[in-house]
Amino acid sequence: MALAITSWGGVSACAVVQRVLSKEPVLVERTWHDALVFEEPEHAQLGRPSVFIDADGQPAVALANRAVYLGMQSLSVARRTATEGWRVEFPRVKSEWRVCGHAGPDGSVIVSFAGLDGPAQALSWDGAVAQPAEPGVCPPQRAVYREIMTDAGPRRMERSGDGRVLWDEGVGDARCPALDAAPGQAIDGFGMAVDSAGQLHVALYEAPPDAVGRLRHAVCDGSAWTSSLVAEDVVAPQVGMAIDAAGDPHIAYVAATVNQLQLRYATTAAMKPGPDTDARLGPASAACVRARHERPQGEGVAAYQYGDGFRCAVLERDPQMLGQARTQFTTACEADDAEACVMAGMSYDWLLARVDIALELPTAEGVKWNGHKTGIAVESMEDEPLRARQLYARGCALGDAQGCELFAFMETVGSKLRAEGAAQACAAGRPTGCAIAMQTVHLRVDDPMMDQAKPVLSAACDEGDWASCNNLAVIAQLRGETASARADFERACEGGVKTACTNLERVGAP
């Protein structure tokens, strides 16, 4: 009688039948250095890490980050530097199921992303700007198999249905024997890589039923596997790895703790300890600095759901990181860094704080105005508005025009310091500073401040700052230029400035 042999994925059914019992792995002692990269709340989801070596020979990780913040999810890139430790960045505000990272030119990284199947898209990320790019190799991944591209072609490993065995399909003449889970355990997540000598490395998470497990590294010399333990007493179903030019493995894994999901990193290479601050702090602070002079695109939370607005808002994800930002900026402020003073003030006030003033036409009751502040509100205590105002004042004294504007907005009406701060902001081209300065001189037509404010307001109005259009129209109306005033009041009213609509009614029909 003939024996029928079926096969799938390059593995014969007979081979599966022969592996009824798992073999105890051959374990050797290796020193693994393990570190936290970043963490998200327990209800979040972190995708499978894609580990790669950047152009500087440093490890990097790209992954889907489904922690919802400001109503959005994102792609995260973690890069380790030789001097600063890990830096976690958010190049794209939208998550994907399939994410692959690659080294790019000039220190950039290429992040390819796609759904479970189908063609991939990609972006190039230099730490500040994301641009479209040609996708790198990003094969589909499933829970039961992983595939990587080697110099000899694609190589795949497949997990048995019961999780007790990993099968290497090999490439060319290279094929390793089956890799067993430890007796009584099953393999869940795993990652694979090939070193420069052609040896296959696997990082795998194995655990007994309904219990915590361990993370193991295994390397095949072509005929047998040798293993070492990377981490024990962990829950780590998402694993990725890469091998550097020196042959050292770099493993990233998502570890579930009681209240957090952590991205952790382990390697046998020498590793200097990084700073004690959150790895997201540096990139998020830099994004805040880049974005502070940009006018938000959109209204409400939508204005901060993309680009540097979103990257800056990362600072407010948890009180500890916000506290670290305050310390960082305040320390630099004390060293006479004007911009750091303003950023420190915002960390006690509103991140990316922006203020607008819409002046009303004067009446017998005097000069009235409507002001509002936009930005990303932070958790504050009773004394923090005062602290913010003090920091804005210091930034203003050191020459930062936005600091002057924010200080004048918060300072007591009628204060000489308020008038001086507003005038300084206006002289530097800040339109809200000009509006406050106009109010401090009670909209007197013959005051030089009105002439100084007019070109600043005109330029801002032309750029779509509707409050400035209203304030420009106030000057025109007070000088008897009613037609010009009416036109700018109409623009501002249509732009959503309610004060301008009120002023337009007072001017009346032509």
Rounded to an integer, the average pLDDT of 328-336 is 97
Q: What is the pLDDT of residues 228-253, one digit of tens each?
A: 999 999 999 999 999 999 999 999 99
Residue 162 has a pLDDT of: 93
- Side-chain half-sphere CA neighbours of 461 within 13 A: 28
User: Look-up: residue for tokens 């589909």?
Assistant: 140
Rounded to 5°, the CA angle 287-291-296 comes to: 135
The pLDDT, as a whole number, for residue 5 is 30
C-alpha R_g of the chain: 30
Predicted local confidence at residue 359, as pLDDT: 97
Per-residue pLDDT at 83? 82
pLDDT in tens, 49-62: 999 999 999 999 99
What is each CA distance from 420 to 139, 337, 385, 460, in whole angstroms? 62, 21, 20, 21
The token pair that represents 252 in the structure block: 């990233």
pLDDT at position 7, please?
Answer: 34
Q: What pLDDT does residue 13 have?
A: 42
CB 260 within 8 A of CB 310: no
Contacts of range 132-136, beta carbons closer than 8 Å, 24 or more positions apart:
133/104, 134/110, 135/110, 136/100, 136/102, 136/110, 136/112
The pLDDT, as a whole number, for residue 382 is: 57
Give 41's contacts (C-beta < 8 A, 6+ positions apart).
67, 259, 260, 261
Residue 176 has pLDDT above 70, yes or no: yes
Q: What is the mean pLDDT of residues 433-457?
A: 96
The percent helix, strand, coil of the chain (3-state, each to 5) is 30, 35, 35
Q: What's the pTM?
A: 0.87
354-374: average pLDDT:
91
pLDDT, mean of residues 30-53 = 91
pLDDT at 16: 44
Backbone angle region of 504, left / alpha / beta, with phi > 0 → left and psi within -120 to 50 → alpha = alpha
Q: What are the residues facing 454 on neighbouring strands?
A: none
CA distance 32 to 383: 46
Question: How confident is the prediction for the chain on average, in pLDDT?
Answer: 90
> Using alpha carbons only, what angle is made at residue 301 by residues 88 and 401, rounded to the nearest 5 degrees?
80
Could you tell me the domains of the chain? Answer: 21-267 (2.115.10), 281-507 (1.25.40)
What number of CA atoms fall less than 13 Å from residue 42's CA on the CB side?
A: 6
**Residue labelled with tokens 């609509």:** 501
Q: Is the pLDDT reported for residue 371 higher than 50? A: yes
Q: Tell me if 164 sits within 8 A of 189, measured CB to CB.
A: no
